[in-house]
Amino acid sequence: MNTTAQTIIDSPRFKALTARKARVSATLTAVMLAAYFGFILALAFGKPLLSRMLTEGVSLGLPVGLSLIALAWGLTGVYVRWANTSHDAAMAELRDEIEAEGRGETR
């Protein structure tokens, strides 16, 4: 491993950014798991509710299930937007600072 990469990995800012990424990922994962298992529990124990017909041939379970898929897409979009705007920019700034320090430049 080159010294710049090792310096970045050993940096307290890198460790903080990595911890923040883990918290964001864990939060979004928890939201998705709660929704998914809520849906599965509703299927298992709330059949009368989910089988209630909204229109001919469409029960309440269909839009609820489609909403779960939309939630997964939405949470993915939230993560991608956060990573592209916040996390990646902070990582690039950290890398640039460490490379500048390695060249003896000051900011």
On the question of pLDDT at 103 being above 90, the answer is: no
Percent of the chain with pLDDT over 90: 65
**Helix segments in 46-104, DSSP class H:** 47-50, 61-82, 88-102
On the question of pLDDT at 55 being above 70, the answer is: yes
Tell me how crowded residue 98 is: count the other CB atoms within 10 A of its CB: 19
On the question of pLDDT at 27 being above 60, the answer is: yes
Q: Which residues of 43-72 are buried (b: 16+ CB within 10 A; e: fewer)?
A: eeebeeebeeeeeeeebbbeebeeeeeeee
Domain ranges of the chain: 3-101
Q: What is the pTM of this model?
A: 0.80
User: Tens of pLDDT along 44-53?
Assistant: 998 999 999 9
User: Tens of pLDDT along 68-92?
Assistant: 999 999 999 999 999 999 999 998 8
